[in-house]
Amino acid sequence: MQLSQAQIDFFETFGFLKFPQLMADRLDWIIEEFTRTFPEQNRHDGTKRTCVVPFIDQRMSVLIDDPRMLAIGKSLLGEDFNYMGSDGNYYTGNTGWHRDGYHEKYKHLKIAFYLDPLDADTGALRVIPGSHRLRDKYGDDLTLQMQDTNKTWDVAGADVPAYVLDVTPGDILVFNHNLFHSAWNGSTNRRMFTINMCQRYAEADIQELRDYIGTAARFWIDRAFSDTMMNEASPERMVHLEQVMANDGHLAALSAKARLEMAEPSRG
């Protein structure tokens, strides 16, 4: 599989892409492994989001080798893109408007697998097309405007004009981390997991990558990737792991500190 130039241009312009039924042939396996990855003692009770990090690393590492995931990463980020971890979630209710990052130089993206059919009335992801473009006035102005949409425009979060990404399980959504996104009207049991990727960082900017990797300390993890993900890596997979593996040496100490300061690992 290869992305067309039109798909790449769409992603650059609007900040997202939808691939209907791209992973339909793997759906039964994905749902089974998704369910089994959540530990017994961490069953979702619907009161708040349950989140496991890293996620595909535990039972679905091979997803990172799937030609469809590789095509998305290589087409949008370059042949040597970095795998940047994953999270698995049972969401409860609304997720307010936010960006996942504010990356001015390096492109970061998220691949989202929603495992329930969703539309605008049941918690489908909504995005503000073009809001990932930090260096143009539209994206730049939104940074402040979106802090409180009621105050800015007298408009509630759920009523902000947005593109709704309806999903049928098996569909794949991809979005730039800088893109404003949210979800409204969802149940207390929305299943979803992600794969994150970014462009390879130049050596001159490696501290920025290290700082970003350090933010995973809130999940109380000592390495960015699981042993399985690293030990079973083929040479091809290793291309997408090695820059992060070489730069996560500070994570264990930061996680030790987080364990002292937090009552439980972060839920997102």
Ligand X SMILES: O=C(O)CCC(=O)C(=O)O
Question: Which residues contribute to the site for ligand X (CB under 6 A)?
Answer: 91, 95, 100, 110, 112, 125, 181, 183, 192, 194
Nearer to ligand X, 90 or 201 (CB): 90
Shortest gap between Cβ of 123 and ligand X (angstroms)?
Answer: 6
Nearer to ligand X, 106 or 175 (CB): 175
Instruction: Judge if the upstream peptide bond of residue 54 is cis by omega within 30 degrees of 0.
Output: yes
Residue 169: strand pairing partners: 171
All residues at 6 or more sequence positions from 179 whose CB lies less than 8 Å from its CB, including other chains: 15, 16, 99, 127, 128, 131, 132
Nearer to ligand X, 55 or 245 (CB): 55
Cα(16)–Cα(112) distance, rounded to whole angstroms?
A: 11
Got the DSSP string for 144-212? HHTT-HHHHHS--GGGS--EEE-B-BTBEEEEETTS-EEE-S--S-EEEEEEEEEPPPPGGGHHHHHHH
Nearer to ligand X, 81 or 184 (CB): 184
Shortest gap between Cβ of 177 and ligand X (angstroms)?
Answer: 8
CB contact at 8 A, 97 and 143: no
Cα(4)–Cα(10) distance, rounded to whole angstroms?
A: 10
Shortest gap between Cβ of 84 and ligand X (angstroms)?
Answer: 13
Q: Which residue from 246, 226, 263 is spatially nearest to 55, judged by alpha carbons?
A: 226
Shortest gap between Cβ of 147 and ligand X (angstroms)?
Answer: 16
Written as six digits, the tokens of 183 are 């979800």
Shortest gap between Cβ of 184 and ligand X (angstroms)?
Answer: 9
Written as six digits, the tokens of 254 are 């930061």
Q: Token match 């207390």: residue?
A: 188
Q: Which residue from 58, 114, 128 is spatially nearest to 86, judged by alpha carbons?
A: 58
Shortest gap between Cβ of 268 and ligand X (angstroms)?
Answer: 8
Residue 176: strand pairing partners: 109
Nearer to ligand X, 53 or 64 (CB): 53
Nearer to ligand X, 72 or 245 (CB): 72
Nearer to ligand X, 91 or 225 (CB): 91
Nearer to ligand X, 91 or 201 (CB): 91
Shortest gap between Cβ of 110 and ligand X (angstroms)?
Answer: 6
Shortest gap between Cβ of 156 and ligand X (angstroms)?
Answer: 17
The most distant pair of C-alpha atoms in the chain lies apart, rounded to whole Å, by 53
Q: Which residue from 97, 99, 154 is spatially nearest to 126, judged by alpha carbons?
A: 97
